[in-house]
């Protein structure tokens, strides 16, 4: 099993997502749920493509944290 952080951003009329550990692997969707689902599928295809081409699957090094500022 592979786990990758995804970053979801709100755009003007939709949402977009990417994974810092998988450059070029992106997705969009009208809702957060849709972009999450689409990104899951994009990562699956990306990883399967790497495996089929006998290329290494990158290890996940990214993490996220919120910082509160007053």
Domain-located, residue 43 = yes
Domain assignment present for residue 41? The answer is yes
Quote the pLDDT of residue 49. 97
Between the alpha carbon of residue 58 and those of residues 12, 64, 69, the distances in Å are: 31, 18, 33
Query: How many structural domains are present in the chain?
Result: 1
| Burial class of residue 47 (count of CB atoms within 10 Å of its CB; 0-12, 13-18, 19+) | middle
Would 59 be classed as within a structural domain? no
Q: Give the Cα separation of 68 and 70 in Å (integer).
A: 7
Mind listing the pLDDT tens digit of every residue in the chain (70 residues)? 899 999 999 999 999 999 999 999 999 999 999 999 999 999 999 999 999 999 999 999 999 999 999 9
67: helix, strand or coil: coil
In a domain, 38, yes or no: yes
CATH code of residue 29: 3.30.160.250
Residue 24 lies in a domain: yes
Quote helix, strand, coil % in the chain, to nearest 5.
30, 15, 55
Residues spanned by the domain of 43: 7-52
């Amino acid at each position: 099993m592979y786990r990758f952080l995804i970053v979801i951003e709100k755009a003007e009329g939709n949402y977009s997502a990417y994974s810092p550990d998988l450059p070029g692997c992106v997705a969009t969707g009208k809702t957060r749920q849709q972009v999450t689902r689409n990104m899951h599928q994009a990562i699956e295809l990306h990883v399967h493509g790497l495996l089929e081409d006998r290329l290494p699957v990158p290890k996940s090094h990214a993490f996220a944290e919120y910082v509160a500022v007053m």
